[in-house]
Structure 1
Amino acid sequence: MQTPNIKFDLVIIGGGPIGIACALEAEKKNLSYVILEKGCLVNSLYHYPTNMTFFSTSEKLELDNIPFISNNPKPGKREALEYYRRIATSNKINIHLFEKVTSIDTRSDNNHIVQSTKGEYSTNNVVVATGFYDIPNYLGIPGEDLPKVSHYYNDPHYYSTQKTLVVGASNSAVDAALEIYRKGGDVTMVVRKPEIGERVKYWVRPDIINRIKEGSIKVYFESSLNEIKETEVIVNTPEGEVTIENDFVLLLTGYRPNFGFLQDIGIKLSEDGRKIPEYNEATMETNIPGIYLAGVICGGVETHKWFIENSRVHAKMIVDHIGAHKNVSVD
């Protein structure tokens, strides 16, 4: 395994599927590289809900035409973890896990010094493929920091028989509401819009609509959560404030990339509220020569725009551009 304090042709920040895809392309070009991942392998995927099923079919999640064999038309979390782990281990991907990047210092000669919690790396090229699952969209309301509140959902058994409020109407919120209800939980949803989101998985959306219609899952549409207390929550509805008995609150209101990290590097963000990073769509290179973006982070706050199946191509685009410009180190 390559070690810190030597010069690499490419440093990849983020050990998710797109980061791994970049490593596979780098190997084809005989570029020296290292992936720096602050958590475990495919860390964001590891923290997805236990029973999560992908929207995409398995072939659309494949990397480098390596077959992804699934028992079902749409694979689940455990199958995906196994698939990406086997790719990483079988190809002996050079990845440093549990090593967080803290800064990138760009020198006048376009050499980048990548500082991590465990070392320092010198490189001409950096790929930022850090995803978006680490920072929740906080509501900023009283009680949001109570122990009974979570911005992440894992397993429904934890909420069995409990009065659980689910805030949101995206795939994660709908999956949580349905699973908790089926494990004996008393579920209430708070939805900002007048209906369940249109982007909810097409085989799940009718299920949640029918459970709401029959009264199995309660819902307040066009509503917002005002305050969280130890044993109750206060919801603002079109008919006025409503106080609901409550044991747990799941604030599944989405997540966002680490924009502060991008700005600290020097990457420009759009000022229209979407915070889309500046990059060349043909090469994925940002306004800083030698620093590239890959994956969902390219969409700014529009985290639904890029995902595994349509951003796998970023890896080849980036490495082809690096190779074409021979912007690599020479030992």
Structure 2
Amino acid sequence: MIDVIIIGGGPIGIACALECKKRNWNYLIIEKGALTNSLFNYPKNMTFFSTSEKLEIDDIPFISNNPKPSRDEALEYYRRVATSNQININLFETAEILKKTNDFFLVETNKSTYNTKKIVLATGFYDIPNLLYVPGENLPKVTHYYKEAHPYSMQEIAVVGASNSSVDAALEIYRKGGNVTMIIRGEQIGKRVKYWVRPDVINRIEEGSIKAYFNSEITEITETEITFKSPDGIKTISNNFVIALTGYKPNFDLLNQLGITLSMDDKKLPQYNPETMESNVKGVYLAGVICGGMETHKWFIENSRIHAKRIAEHIENALV
């Protein structure tokens, strides 16, 4: 019997593991991909909004060469935290079935089956993209993730969205020689875009280096073109690749399996006690971004690091 199983090996999952380790609990992290899999899948040149000290976990110093740390610096930091503390983690193992059985929980993965007294869901939100639901979205030329600009040089590129990831992709591809068109559902570049980047993309749009269609939505994708609805009517333009960075959502299936109550509106907020992070299902805790349901911008490393301590302190009083 395992005391605590943590689903998700990102920064918050690692923070939860460190709290378990301090208390000499028998714990296990189950992570479907690589260590800090979401960070690994971020664009190669991504820079965090937060400064390095706000990304630290368990008061372990994060030294960065720049005021805003890069993706690679973050990967190095969390990797060293995990390895130097010898955290107990199973990588590339996917939790498939979670259910409560009498006074414990059953966790079935693609590799094994475990019994545990407590479950911590720290699965983040980066694994399931919000789809466009348009004809042609399944074509090989369409992706919901962006890694680097080089493959898109000298190509006709449509970037869908106006968030940080969309803006970063549009600017990088433009500067690597891609012909970029942004298709944006709203009326402006997102207000939460990094303050040092937002003026840059607005200037590129105004000077015509990057084309942008606001209040617009793609309606069809073909091998050589995209069609979209704009305030000026239906338009069709040449296209080689579509990068649809329209956001992501948590794995609600795991929450539903355990019986965690979600709000009935579009936000799908899971029910939990903010003092203890315990959900409406006794013994199941939420940590990190998953607490925000579809409001994935509400929680991030900086403001959810405290979840690990709250969870551990509550479990400490409950474990026998």
Contact 1:103–1:265 (CA<8 Å) still a contact in 2?
no
The C-alpha deviation readout for 1:223-281, integer Å capped at 9, x for no partner, is: 11111011011111101011100000001000000112211121111002210011111
1:140 aligns with 2:149: no
Q: Which runs of 4+ in 1 moved over 2 A?
A: none
1:237 aligns with 2:269: no
Partner of 1:149: 142
1:250 aligns with 2:243: yes
1:43 aligns with 2:37: yes
Q: CA deviation at 1:15?
A: 0.3
Partner of 1:296: 289
SS of the residue 2:295 aligns to: coil
How does the TM-score come out when normalised to structure 1? 0.96
Partner of 1:198: 191
Partner of 2:69: 75
One-letter code aligned to 2:89: I
How does the TM-score come out when normalised to structure 2? 0.99
RMSD over aligned CA atoms reads: 0.7
Q: Distance in 1 between matches of 2:312 and 2:34?
A: 24
Percent identity (aligned)? 64
Contact 1:18–1:294 (CA<8 Å) still a contact in 2?
yes
1:10 aligns with 2:4: yes
The C-alpha deviation readout for 1:53-76, integer Å capped at 9, x for no partner, is: 101000000011101000000001
The C-alpha deviation readout for 1:285-331, integer Å capped at 9, x for no partner, is: 11111110000000000000000000000000000000022x24xxx
One-letter code aligned to 1:282: E
Partner of 2:178: 185
Contact 2:99–2:257 (CA<8 Å) still a contact in 1?
no
One-letter code aligned to 2:231: P
Contact 1:222–1:237 (CA<8 Å) still a contact in 2?
yes
1:280 to 244, 251, 273: 273
Which piece of structure 1 moves more, 23-32 or 79-88?
Answer: 23-32
1:28 aligns with 2:22: yes
1:164 aligns with 2:160: no
1:228 to 212, 221, 228: 221
Q: CA deviation at 1:117?
A: 1.3
1:123 aligns with 2:116: yes
Which 5+ residue runs of structure 1 have no aligned equivalent? 1-6
1:96 aligns with 2:90: yes
Which 5+ residue runs of structure 2 have no aligned equivalent? none
Q: CA deviation at 1:108?
A: 2.1
Q: CA deviation at 1:94?
A: 0.4
1:307 aligns with 2:289: no
1:215 aligns with 2:215: no
The C-alpha deviation readout for 1:55-109, integer Å capped at 9, x for no partner, is: 1000000011101000000001000000000000000000010111111121122
Partner of 1:3: none
2:60 to 42, 66, 69: 66
